[in-house]
Amino acid sequence: MTNFPNVIASMISMSDIEKEELIKRTEIVTFNKHDIIRKQGDLVEEVYFVEKGIIRFTTLDKKGKSHTIHFASENQFSTDYTAFLNSSNSIYTVEALEDTKLSKMSKTNVDWLFGKVEEGEKFGRIILDHHYQYLENRVLDKQILTPKERYDKMSIVFPGIHQRVPQYMVASYIGVSKVHLSRLKNE
């Protein structure tokens, strides 16, 4: 059982033939907690939809320090879109933080979805619009919200995240030190 075709069908009109074809073109992949799904520098040739679990996108700065940039949890689409678009190497390492089940679509199949499904292009626009708004909020929140407000807002975007994910990852995501985060939570 996967949610992926249903989620797409809830956003656009699809014929039964298109739905069947979509299921055929989707691969289910599973990962154990701590598994690396993709490494920084790998070619990005697929998009993921999270059926179950939570994944994390990290990147290394010049000094080799790892930063948590994004998460994705149930019913969220996820890729390194910039690298996917340009068929270039990912700037992110993607890691399973729980036992995780993903629906995976290769670039060829995404091209089929956007190009051959009657309303596929519309679906692409909707997903891109969602992610755009997520990023815009991420930029904005960093400047106008307090760290405590950013912490609280995270669990709206990623339900249950504070019970599911080590706090040092949350601290990195909201841009404070681990010590600062502990202090916030005790206030």
Torsion over CA: 157, 158, 161, 167 (sign): negative
Taking CB atoms within 8 Å and a gap of at least 24, the contacts of 113-120 are 113/8, 113/22, 113/25, 117/12, 117/14, 117/18, 117/22, 118/13, 118/14, 118/15, 118/18, 119/12, 119/13, 119/14, 120/12
Nearer to its own copies among residue 23 and residue 135 (C-beta) = 135
Shortest Å distance, C-beta 106 to its own copies: 20
Segment contacting its own copies by CB under 8 A, of 23-31, 71-79, 134-142, 176-184: 134-142
Q: Residue 168, interface with its own copies (CB under 8 A)?
A: no
Shortest Å distance, C-beta 46 to its own copies: 18
**What SS3 state is found at 7?**
helix
Q: Residue 91, interface with its own copies (CB under 8 A)?
A: yes
Q: In this structure, what token pair is assigned to residue 7?
A: 């989620």
Nearer to its own copies among residue 67 and residue 164 (C-beta) = 67
Measure the CA–CA gap between 153 and 115, rounded to whole angstroms: 36
When binding is defined by CB under 8 A, the residue of 33, 41, 85, 185 that contacts its own copies is: 85
Q: Residue 148, interface with its own copies (CB under 8 A)?
A: no
Q: Residue 59, interface with its own copies (CB under 8 A)?
A: yes
The torsion angles phi and psi of 27, rounded to 5 degrees, stand at: -110, 135
Provide CB contacts within 8 A for 115, sequence distance 6+.
Answer: 121
When binding is defined by CB under 8 A, the residue of 34, 39, 116, 125 that contacts its own copies is: 125
When binding is defined by CB under 8 A, the residue of 139, 179, 186, 187 that contacts its own copies is: 139
Task: Report yes or no: 91 and 83 within 8 Å, Cβ to Cβ.
Answer: yes
Q: Residue 182, interface with its own copies (CB under 8 A)?
A: no
Binding site for its own copies (CB under 8 A): 59, 61-62, 67, 69, 81-82, 85, 91, 121, 124-125, 128-129, 131-133, 135-136, 138-140, 142-145, 172, 175
